[in-house]
Amino acid sequence: MTSEEKIKQLVEAKLSVKIKSYVSLSGGCISDSYKITTNDNSNFFLKINPSASNDMFFKEANGLIELEKASAIRIPKVLASDKDYIILEFIASGNKKKNFFEDFGKNFAKMHKHTSDNFGFYEDNYIGSNPQKNIPTEKEKKDWISFYFNNRILFQLHLADNLGNSTDELRKGISKLENKIESIIKTLEKPSLLHGDLWGGNYMVDENGSAVLIDPAVYYGNREADIGMTKLFGGFSSEFYTAYNEEFPLEDGYKYRENIYKLYHVLNHLNLFGGGYYLQALSLIKFYI
């Protein structure tokens, strides 16, 4: 059976429909994506990866469902998921409307107003194809500094050790960072619902010209972690940040803390893609030490 036949078979079985056509879509760097059209002219989005971790698509589905609870930004509806695929509502791409980034920033702030009593999440998930640790200890549930440093920075360092991506210089830098972390991160805010991996490639523009969030790495944490990630690779205008801050003002000193939140993602990219991110990680660490 060809891969195309397998795709057709699994979708027809899950959705109890007959497929009229399917078209390969570009954009994914981990999985293959398709637009599926059924005999009744309904459209669906299929993402498939036979070599994915057994629970990767289940975790993606749970993250999208969690984001939808905030009722703040459009999220694709989850229709089905299994160990090697996820089927979502198909959202047609459009062009940014006039006030796209103003609305996006305002609505992203509204999403962050959806809070939890505890940091973390009820399950671990993934950041790209690397594992993301979300289940907190009793201390970490109420202590953002401990949660973030242990489950984000130290976890990525241990992963770098295992992959051969770390050095004495990196380990010593993070050790010095640990001694200063209490003075770097200070917050009294409740844990916000976070997308967890928001860069320019993880939102799309729908047929109405509005933002849609995709490919999350959801957990509840300090919202500056989401903002820091948006600053790492660009893709967001100044209007986005102005509108965000008008809707839900950030705590004083947030710009100083941006690098500590960028560090998690740069370490993750080091572990995903290799040494090209090593010097950037060191630079972010040296900013504080």
Q: What count of other Cβ atoms lies within 10 Å of the Cβ of residue 190?
A: 15
- CB–CB of 229/198 below 8 Å? yes
- CB–CB of 287/258 below 8 Å? no
Instruction: Tell me the residue ranges of DSSP E strands in the chain.
Output: 19-25, 32-38, 43-48, 78-82, 85-89, 125-127, 130-132, 192-194, 203-205, 211-213, 219-221
Q: What count of other Cβ atoms lies within 10 Å of the Cβ of residue 36?
A: 22
- CB–CB of 265/229 below 8 Å? yes
C-alpha to C-alpha distance for 201 and 29, rounded to whole angstroms = 10
Note if 32 is an active site residue.
no
Q: What count of other Cβ atoms lies within 10 Å of the Cβ of residue 265?
A: 26
Beta bridge partners of 89: 44
Alpha carbon of residue 42 to chain centroid: 28
Strand bridging mode 43-48 / 78-82: unpaired
- CB–CB of 289/153 below 8 Å? no
C-alpha to C-alpha distance for 63 and 57, rounded to whole angstroms = 10
Alpha carbon of residue 74 to chain centroid: 15
* Catalytic residue from among 84, 103, 197, 226: 197
| Closest CA relative to residue 179, chosen from 25, 289, 256 | 289
Catalytic residues: 197
